[in-house]
């Protein structure tokens, strides 16, 4: 039975009107269209399109990185992380595909770029991460303060906590500590290459849960 009122396409009750006047095909079409639009703008979908790329050649540029991965699909964003002081590459970067299916294609093969085997990884959605991501840092200079320690690791991501372990008797640093980030991508970044604090090489490992 037809209702006694009509509604323009942009009216709040238009979907209801379509479904109650026998326009089922148009109703289903509008519903599916809305689902598609929501999926395209979903933060989770955006996360599944992102990748961390480690092990880059120091000479690899954003353009060469984008050119390489464009063979797997359209790349919407691409960044090679660089040292803020020297401008030199830090040996890792991030890229985002337009289609999340491209990430799956990348993950199933070995990749070589500019003479090096590179290490692409899927950016892990927050829903699949632990609340925090923690690393162990060894070989820290005795001259480094906790502020030096924290400030160094800020370049990789937001630092939730940074603690240098101290000798209870002397109050001096014991040469190691722990850093907690708010995401796993920052942990991957710290593991991607050799690092130094105050000119001294440090050892970085993913902290093991107790």
Per-residue tokens: 175: 């040469």
107, 122: one domain: yes
Q: What is the chain's pLDDT, residue by residue, as a tens digit (210 residues)?
A: 444 444 444 444 444 444 444 555 554 555 455 544 444 444 445 557 899 898 999 999 999 999 999 999 999 999 999 988 888 999 999 999 999 889 988 988 899 999 999 989 887 655 555 545 899 999 999 999 989 999 999 999 889 889 898 877 777 888 999 999 988 889 989 988 899 999 999 999 988 765
Within a domain: residue 171? yes
48, 72: one domain: yes
119: Cβ contacts below 8 Å, ≥ 6 apart: 53, 54, 55, 192
**SS3 per residue for 148-203:** HHHHHHHHHCCEEEEEEEECCCCCCEEEEEEEEECCHHHHHHHCCCCEEECCEEEE
Within a domain: residue 156? yes
pLDDT digit string, tens, across residues 67-78: 999 999 999 999
Q: Which pTM does this prediction carry?
A: 0.47
User: Could you give the number of structural domains in the chain?
Assistant: 2
Choose one of 127, 142, 163: the last residue of a domain.
127
pLDDT digit string, tens, across residues 174-201: 899 999 998 888 998 998 889 999 999 9
Query: What distance in Å separates the CA atoms of residue 9 and residue 173, rounded to the nearest whole number?
Result: 69
Neighbours of 50 (CB within 10 A): 20
Per-residue tokens: 8: 């323009």
Q: Which helix (H) or strand (E) holds 24?
A: helix 24-41
56, 113: one domain: yes
Q: What's CA 191's distance to the chain center, in Å? A: 14
């Amino acid at each position: 039975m037809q209702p006694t009122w009509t509604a323009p396409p942009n009216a709040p009750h238009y979907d209801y009107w379509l479904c109650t006047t026998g326009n089922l095909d148009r109703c289903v079409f509008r519903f599916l269209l809305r689902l598609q639009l929501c999926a395209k703008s979903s933060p989770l979908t955006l996360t599944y399109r992102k990748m961390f790329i480690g092990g880059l050649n120091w000479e690899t540029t954003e353009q060469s990185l984008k050119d390489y991965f464009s063979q797997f699909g359209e790349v919407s964003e691409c960044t090679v992380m660089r040292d803020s002081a020297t401008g030199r590459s830090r040996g890792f970067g991030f890229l985002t595909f337009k289609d999340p299916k491209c990430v799956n294609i990348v993950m199933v093969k070995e990749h070589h770029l500019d003479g090096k085997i590179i290490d692409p990884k899927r950016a892990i959605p927050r829903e699949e991460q632990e609340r925090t991501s923690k690393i162990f840092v060894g070989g820290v200079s005795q001259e480094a303060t906790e502020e030096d320690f924290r400030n160094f690791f800020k370049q990789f991501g937001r630092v939730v906590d940074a603690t240098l372990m101290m000798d209870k008797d002397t109050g001096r640093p014991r040469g190691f500590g722990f850093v907690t980030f708010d995401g796993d991508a920052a942990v991957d970044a710290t593991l991607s290459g050799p690092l130094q604090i105050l000119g001294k090489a440090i050892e970085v490992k993913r902290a093991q849960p107790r």
